[in-house]
Structure 1
Amino acid sequence: MEFYGTLGDACWERETLEALFRAGMTGARLNLSHTTLEACAPLLEERFWPAARQAGVEAKLIVDLQGPELRVGTLKEPVSLAEGAEVLLGAGGIPVPAAALAAARTGDEISLDDSALLLTVVEERPDALLCQVERGGLLKSRKSMAILGVQPDTPALTEEDRRNLDWAARCGVTDVLQPFVRGAEDLAVLRGALAERGLERVRVMAKIENQLGIEKLDEIIDASDVICIARGDLGNSMPLWELPAAQKGIAARCRTAGRSFFVVTQLLWSMEQRAVPTRAEVCDIYNAVLDGSDALMLTGETAAGRYPVQAMEYLVKTARSALSTGRAG
C-alpha cells in the first residue's frame, strides 16, 4: 500500500522528509496551485530525493496540476471576512478567475477554502461580484473556490500546467493528478501533453471532485490509471451528509472495474494542530482501507501542520492494522 504526504513549509527540511519516509511514506504530492516545478526543483534535488535514498525508499513524486479548478488569486495579506459583511470578488476586491465572474449569478453560493467560508452573490457587476458573507473566517491566498451547482467553462490544462509539465522529467515526476476531471476528454488532453514531452510512462491520476465526475465515472475509470476520491471539493458539490455514500459508491465501482483508487482530504485534519488524532479520524482511515483503497494521502497535515511525522505514523499504522484484518473483495 502507498502512503503519500504533501510537500510544504512544515516538511521541506531534509531531516523531516527522511523521518517521514522512515515512518512509512512512499511518495509525496506537490500542489502546483501554490508553486511551480521550476521553483521547487532545487529543493527536490537537494532534499527530497536524497532523503528518500537515505531512507531506502524508491519514492514517487506526484504533481497536482491546476486544471479547471477555481482558486482565489494572490493576496497581499490574509483577508478577514466577517459574517454578514459584504465583500467584492473581482476588480477592486479579492482577485478571482474570469471564468468565475462569467459563471456566477445573483443568488449563487460560493464556497472558499473547502467550504470553510461561504458567500452568496447579491449583485453582478461587469467585472466583479458583490457577495454577502454567510460563513466567515480568514481567507488566504490561492485557496480553493467553488460556485455550488455551477460548472464554469475552463480548459483541462492551463498554460502554467503545460509549463510545469516541461519540468516533469528533470524533476523525476512519476504521477500526475488531474483536478476536477469532467470526462475522458480531459484525460485525453493530459495524456497528449505528456506524450508531447516523452512522458507516456507517467501515471495519470483522475481526481473525482464534483457531480459531473461521478456521472462520468465509468469513462473516467477507463481513461485513467488511478482514481483519486478527493473529498474536499467533492463535499462541496453535495450535502455533506451524502459524501460518505458517494465515497463508498466510487470505491465500489473502482473495485468492480479493477481500477486502483485512493482517498484524500482531512484524513487526519485535527493533527494540523494536535499531536494525537480523533477517534473518528482513525476509523475513517481504517474504513477506507477496508473499502479497498490502494493508497492514502495527507495534505495540510504534512504541508502545514505542526506534527507532520506523527501524522504519517498514525496514517501508516492505522492502515496496516486494517490490512491485517482483511479488505473488501
Structure 2
Amino acid sequence: MDLYGTLGASCARREILTAMFQAGMTGARLNLSHTTLPECASLLEDEFWPAARQAGVEASLIVDLQGPELRVGRLEEPVPLREGSSALLGAGGIPVPRSVVEAARPGDQISLDDSALLLTVEEAGPDRLTCRVERGGLLKSRKSLALLGREVDSPTLTAEDRANLAQAGRFGVTHVLQPFVRGREDLLTLRSALAELGLDQVKIMAKIENRRGMEKLDEILEEADVICIARGDLGNSMPLWELPSAQKRIARTCRAAGKPFFVVTQLLWSMEERAVPTRAEVSDIYNAVLDGSCALMLTGETAAGRHPLEAMEYLAKTARCALRDLNPDVSLFRPEGGGNRNKTSKLGDSVQWRT
C-alpha cells in the first residue's frame, strides 16, 4: 500500500523525510497552488530525493496542479475575519478570481479554507463582493474557495500548470493530481499536455471534488490511472453528513471497475497540533483500507503540522493493522524490529477489495 505525505516547511529536512520513509512513507505530494517546481529545487534535490535513497525507497513524487480549483490570491499577511463583520472580496479587498466575482449573486455563500470560514454575499458589484462573515477565523494566502451551489468557469490547466509540467521531467515527477475533474475532456487535455512533453509514463490521478465529478465518474474512470477521493472540497459541494455516503459510492464504483483509488483530507487533522490522533481518525484510516483504498495521503499534517513524523507513523501503523486483518497470512510491511530496512514494499495490489 502506498502512503503519501505532503511536502512543506514542517518536513523539509532530510533527516525528517528519511525517518518518514523508514516509517512507511512511499512518496510525497507537492501542492503547486502554493509554489512552483523550480522554487522547490533545493527541497527536492537536496532533501527529498537524498532521503528516499538513504531509506532505500523508490519514491513517488506527486504534483498537485492548480487546475480549475478556486483559491484566494496571495496575501501579504493573514487576514482575520470576525464573525458578523463585513469582508470585501475583489478590487480593494481580499484577492479572488475574477470569475468568482462575476458569478456570485447576493445571498450566495462562499466557503474558504475547506469550509473553515463561511461568508454570505450581501452586495455584488462589477469588480468586488461585499460579504458578511458567518463563520470567522484567520484567512491565509492561497486557501481554497468555493462558491456554493454555482459552477464557475475555469480552464483545465492554468499557465502556471503548463509551466510546472514543463519542469516535471527534470524533477522526477511520477504522478500528476488533476483537481476538480469535471469529465473526460479535462483528463484528455492533461494527457495531451504530458504527451507533448514526452511524459507519457507519468500517471494521472483524478481528484473527485464536487457533484459534477461524481456524475461523470464513469467516463473519468476510463481516462484516469487512479481516482482520488478528495474529501475537502467534495464536502463543500453537499451537506457534510452526506459526505461519507459519497465516499462509499465512489469507492464501490472504483472497485467494480477495477480502478485503483485512494482517500485524502483530514485523515489525521488533529495531529497538525496534537501528538496523538483521535479515535475517530484512526478508525477513518482503518475503514478506508477495508474499503479497498490503494493508498492514503496526509496533507497539512506533514506539510505544516507540528508532528509530521508521528503522523506518518500513526498512518502506517493503522494501515498495517487494517491490511493484516484483510490478509492475515501475508506480510505486507517490513517488520518493525528487523528485516531488510533498505526496502519498502508498495502494496496496493495485495489488498483484497470488497464488493
Instruction: Report the TM range for the smaller structure's normalisation.
Output: over 0.9
SS at match of 1:71: coil
Indicate yes or no: 2:79 matched with 1:79: yes
In structure 2, the partner of 1:94 is 94
C-alpha deviation, 1:151, in angstroms: 1.2
In structure 1, the partner of 2:11 is 11
Structure 2: how far apart are the matches of 1:34 and 1:83? 27
Structure 1: how far apart are the matches of 2:43 and 2:282? 32
Q: How does 1:1-329 map to 2 (within 5 A)?
A: 1-326=1-326, 328-329=353-354
What is the identity, as a one-letter code, of the residue corresponding to 1:75? L
C-alpha deviation, 1:93, in angstroms: 0.2
C-alpha deviation, 1:143, in angstroms: 0.3
Structure 2: how far apart are the matches of 1:63 and 1:253? 25
C-alpha deviation, 1:328, in angstroms: 4.0
Structure 2: how far apart are the matches of 1:328 and 1:28? 24
> Deviation digits for residues 36-70 of structure 1, max 9, x if unmatched?
00111222011110000000000000000000000
SS at match of 1:190: helix
How many residues align structurally? 329
Residue range with higher mean Cα deviation, 103-112 or 167-176: 103-112
What is the identity, as a one-letter code, of the residue corresponding to 1:285? I
> Deviation digits for residues 245-284 of structure 1, max 9, x if unmatched?
0000000000000000000000000000011000000000
Structure 1: how far apart are the matches of 2:223 and 2:41? 29
What is the identity, as a one-letter code, of the residue corresponding to 2:324? S
Structure 2: how far apart are the matches of 1:24 and 1:323? 13
Structure 1: how far apart are the matches of 2:194 and 2:295? 23
C-alpha deviation, 1:75, in angstroms: 0.6
Structure 2: how far apart are the matches of 1:104 and 1:258? 39
Structure 1: how far apart are the matches of 2:106 and 2:152? 15
Give the conservation status (yes or no) of the 8 Å contact 2:251–2:292: yes
> Deviation digits for residues 94-125 of structure 1, max 9, x if unmatched?
00011111111111100000000000001011
What is the identity, as a one-letter code, of the residue corresponding to 1:32? L
SS at match of 2:141: coil
What is the identity, as a one-letter code, of the residue corresponding to 2:210? N
SS at match of 1:119: strand
Q: Percent identity?
A: 74
Structure 2: how far apart are the matches of 1:295 and 1:328? 13
What is the identity, as a one-letter code, of the residue corresponding to 2:245? A
SS at match of 1:163: helix
Structure 2: how far apart are the matches of 1:34 and 1:90? 20
TM-score norm. by structure 1 comes to: 0.99
What is the identity, as a one-letter code, of the residue corresponding to 2:197? R
Runs of 4+ in 1 over 6 A off after TM superposition: none
Structure 1: how far apart are the matches of 2:103 and 2:261? 31
Structure 2: how far apart are the matches of 1:151 and 1:196? 30
> Deviation digits for residues 173-212 of structure 1, max 9, x if unmatched?
0000000000000000000110010000100000000000
C-alpha deviation, 1:320, in angstroms: 1.0
> Deviation digits for residues 147-177 of structure 1, max 9, x if unmatched?
0111101000000000000100000000000
SS at match of 1:92: coil
C-alpha deviation, 1:30, in angstroms: 0.0
Structure 2: how far apart are the matches of 1:42 and 1:150? 40
What is the identity, as a one-letter code, of the residue corresponding to 1:49? W
What is the identity, as a one-letter code, of the residue corresponding to 2:297? M
Unaligned ranges ≥5, structure 1 = none
In structure 1, the partner of 2:340 is none
SS at match of 2:54: helix
Structure 2: how far apart are the matches of 1:160 and 1:267? 29
Structure 2: how far apart are the matches of 1:106 and 1:219? 35
Unaligned ranges ≥5, structure 2 = 327-351
Give the conservation status (yes or no) of the 8 Å contact 2:81–2:138: yes
What is the identity, as a one-letter code, of the residue corresponding to 1:241? W
Structure 1: how far apart are the matches of 2:164 and 2:103? 27
CA RMSD of aligned residues (A): 0.6
